[in-house]
């Protein structure tokens, strides 16, 4: 047979994990680019509020961005991790790191050479 007509595509089935203190959050193993783009653009909207407000950025803008970041992270969480995430009172620096982790997972920019744990 001609091997050129066969290609095997790997689909990740294991959830991604983010460990924060004694809580492990589970994220979808895969998501579509469109779903990522949608979540990412609403995050950008929230961040634009701060940029636009500039030095006048107050509690309302900061809350909107914080909520935007949490909503972005939540859109990729597995259902069973939502309550745990909601219960977490995260400092912004952790939230930002979590957000960057999630963005890397699904933006397609992450290298496919993920080291097996």
* pLDDT tens, residue by residue, 98-114: 999 999 999 876 444 44
Could you give the angle at which helices 79-87 and 59-74 cross, rounded to 10 degrees? 150
pTM of the model as a whole:
0.80
Please provide residue 103's backbone torsions phi and psi, each rounded to the nearest 5 degrees: -60, -40
Tens digit of each residue's pLDDT (9 = 90 or more) over 49-98: 889 988 888 998 889 899 999 999 999 999 999 999 999 999 989 999 99
d(CA 83, CA 87): 6
> So what's the pLDDT on residue 116?
42
**Element at 24 (helix H, strand E):** strand 23-27
Instruction: Record the tokens describing residue 45, joined without a space.
Output: 């909207």
**Do residues 43 and 68 lie in contact, with contact meaning Cβ atoms separated by under 8 Å?**
yes
**Do residues 16 and 29 lie in contact, with contact meaning Cβ atoms separated by under 8 Å?**
yes
Q: What are the beta bridge partners of residue 19?
A: 24
d(CA 17, CA 19): 6
> So what's the pLDDT on residue 1?
61
């Amino acid at each position: 047979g001609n091997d050129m007509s066969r290609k095997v595509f790997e689909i990740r089935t294991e959830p991604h994990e983010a460990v924060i203190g004694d809580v492990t959050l589970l994220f979808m193993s895969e998501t579509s680019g469109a779903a990522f783009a949608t979540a990412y653009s609403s995050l950008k909207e929230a961040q634009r509020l701060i940029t636009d407000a500039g030095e006048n950025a107050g509690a309302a803008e900061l809350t909107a961005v914080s909520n935007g970041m949490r909503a972005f992270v939540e859109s990729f969480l597995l259902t069973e991790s939502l309550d745990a995430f909601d219960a977490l009172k995260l400092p912004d620096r952790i939230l930002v790191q979590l957000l960057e982790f999630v963005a890397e997972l699904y933006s397609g920019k992450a290298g496919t050479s993920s080291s097996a744990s």
